[in-house]
Structure 1
Amino acid sequence: MSAVLVTGADLAPQALALLKDHEVIFAGKTPTEDDIVALSGKHNPVAIIVRYSKVGAAAMDAAPALKVVSKHGSGTDTIDKTAARARGIDVVAAVGANAAAVAEQALALLLACAKSVVALDARMHAGHWDKATHKSVELAGRTIGLIGLGAIGLRFARMADALGMRVIGFDPYAQNLPDYVASVDLETIWRESDAISLHCPLTEANARLVDAATLARCKRGLILVNTARGGLVDEQALLSAVRSGQVASAGLDSFAVEPMAAGHPFQGERGFVLSPHIGGVTSDAYVNMGVAAARNVLDVLARA
């Protein structure tokens, strides 16, 4: 019986049922890259389903039988795709399986920033009543710029349109966009957006796309939402922009280094609404991503 290595501690029962003809090996809750290499050498899996940690050339070389690396989600930046291509190993992703979950998280962060939900909640619990002094941001009529118009970005665009926002987006690969999304260049995103939400993969070309220079070109009082990858944002530049008021608030679900360590400069800082990269972590998405990842494995193995 051939092995499938899962770089996590579990997989949805529906996904396990699809893999019933394979031995499924779990790497545990917080596997390191070295753990993945060791397990690949021990079990020689035909497939790796990636939940946590990275899968690089060393893990691929440790498993001569490896045919496919399947992401339990949509972002494949933790997989060395160049190394996989050189070894004839397919890299596949569960595209769209968590689109609803992540788009909803982006909307939650946008609303939390615009309506000062977290700050007002803390004030209320402390016994204050700020009705006479507080004013929230009304999103209707304002412009939101989306960078990335894949399954998640387009789902979020529909939500923003329903709020009465003007939706503009940049994605060089997007086609057949709905009428309520205006395709624009990046300069227009920076110049015209009242809020920006990131929905693109992390690549070498767009690392730190949001930096001091791009933030300076934005409208003062910008809201920034990131449910994609932390590496898209220069965190020190964002911290400075929030402190100066150039960015009114940032709703972040992903960070340059995860998990976030104690003492991170965003912690305790006004203007930041933070969540621990759980945009795609819902009961429904857990099943959808697991099933899609398993199906992708089986599809590749059937062709091998």
Structure 2
Amino acid sequence: MTSVAEKQTILVTGADLAPQAVAMLKDFEIVYAGKAPDTAALVALCAEHQPVGIIVRYGKIPAEVMDASRRLRVISKHGTGVDTIDGKAAAERGIAVKAAVGANAPAVAEHTWALIMACAKSVVQLNARMHDGHWDKATHKSIELKGRTLGLVGFGAIGQRVADVAVTLGMNVLAYDPFARKEYPNVTLCDLDTLYAQSDVVSLHCPLTEDNKQMINRDSIAKMRAGAILVNTARGGLVDEAAVIEAVKSGRLHSAGLDSFASEPLIGSHHFSDVDNIVLSPHIGGVTGDAYIGMGTGAAANILAVLAEVPAGA
């Protein structure tokens, strides 16, 4: 017999959590699933520990993971994209799904600009040439962004920050977002075809849904300006990667900057390996020290809020 009430468990699908988030969850037992948990491992951990909440860092949360814990009441994303969580299955089981909305917006917006600049100014290619002993000043011309048009697909917290920088640089800004609720200074809301046709840079900032899978494909690329730049710091499933590779190799697209991919992790030899004008980063747009804290505390706050609303046994 124990005199201390058993702590409820929170499962984290990762190897760590910001200390500030851990402190918020001090009344819970925290179980970590490790750096790359698969479905079988998560099912086993849920069956063993019966968590009331899951904080999702890595991996997917399908129905079988949910069903492994009869106590589960909330799944909280360590970030903003909830496409790795089976939302329909969660709703059917009365399990809340929450996201740390806006927690990593500054970090992702900054990384978006890192990729735009890398593409427009050929930073990666020129760096490699310099290290190989070349001096291309007489032959290379970069793209000047002043006066050009940036098209934002999705205009939430990240897109708005990206727009602010574009306006400062003297760019025209178009945005497509069917959920935009108000006008935004110096930004023109438009339909998607207009955005494709008029933008020199197309940057994706929307969630992945069943309706927009591979929205960037051969047909949509054909609607874009010749020599446009494509940047994706949202979800890899938004892009038909073969179509983008084809367009960059042919010159239809000047270049692309990609931070997320249809299948992750992207390691070893892969289909982007021999394409010089595609700048890649390993889905780290939102990975900064500040964002790590913000996403962790946001995810923890969502857990606590839901559990406060839905007491144990309810």
Q: Smaller-chain TM-score range?
A: over 0.9
What secondary structure, in the 3-state scheme, does the structure 2 residue paired with 1:101 have?
A: helix
Residue 148 (structure 2) pairs with residue 148 (structure 1): no
1:34 is displaced (CA, Å) by 1.3
The letter of the residue matching 1:289 is M
Aligned identity (percent) is 59
1:279 counterpart residue number = 285
Match of 1:267 among 268, 273, 289: 273
Q: Which runs of 4+ in 1 moved over 6 A?
A: none
Residues 201-237 of structure 1, C-alpha deviation per residue, up to 9 Å, x if partnerless? Answer: 0011000000000001111001000000011000000
Larger radius of gyration: 2
- For residues 58 and 186 of structure 2, the distance between their equivalents in structure 1, rounded to whole angstroms, comes to 36
2:242 counterpart residue number = 236
1:130 counterpart residue number = 136
Residues 5-57 of structure 1, C-alpha deviation per residue, up to 9 Å, x if partnerless? Answer: 00000000000000000000000011111111111111110000000000010
Match of 1:251 among 242, 257, 262: 257
The letter of the residue matching 1:22 is F
1:261 is displaced (CA, Å) by 3.3
2:4 counterpart residue number = none
Segments of structure 1 that go 5 or more residues without pairing to the other structure are: none
What secondary structure, in the 3-state scheme, does the structure 2 residue paired with 1:20 have?
A: coil
Q: How does 1:1-304 map to 2 (within 5 A)?
A: 1-304=7-310
- For residues 155 and 148 of structure 1, the distance between their equivalents in structure 2, rounded to whole angstroms, comes to 12
Backbone CA RMSD of aligned residues: 0.7
1:181 is displaced (CA, Å) by 1.3
1:180 is displaced (CA, Å) by 1.3
What secondary structure, in the 3-state scheme, does the structure 2 residue paired with 1:139 have?
A: coil
Residues 259-300 of structure 1, C-alpha deviation per residue, up to 9 Å, x if partnerless? Answer: 013221111311110000000000000000000000000000
- TM-score between both structures, scaled by the size of structure 1: 0.99
1:178 is displaced (CA, Å) by 1.6
- For residues 264 and 247 of structure 1, the distance between their equivalents in structure 2, rounded to whole angstroms, comes to 20
- For residues 79 and 177 of structure 1, the distance between their equivalents in structure 2, rounded to whole angstroms, comes to 32
- TM-score between both structures, scaled by the size of structure 2: 0.96
- For residues 273 and 300 of structure 2, the distance between their equivalents in structure 1, rounded to whole angstroms, comes to 37
- For residues 263 and 216 of structure 1, the distance between their equivalents in structure 2, rounded to whole angstroms, comes to 28
Segments of structure 2 that go 5 or more residues without pairing to the other structure are: 1-6
What secondary structure, in the 3-state scheme, does the structure 1 residue paired with 2:54 have?
A: strand
- For residues 94 and 212 of structure 1, the distance between their equivalents in structure 2, rounded to whole angstroms, comes to 33
More displaced 10-residue stretch of structure 1: 170-179 or 84-93: 170-179
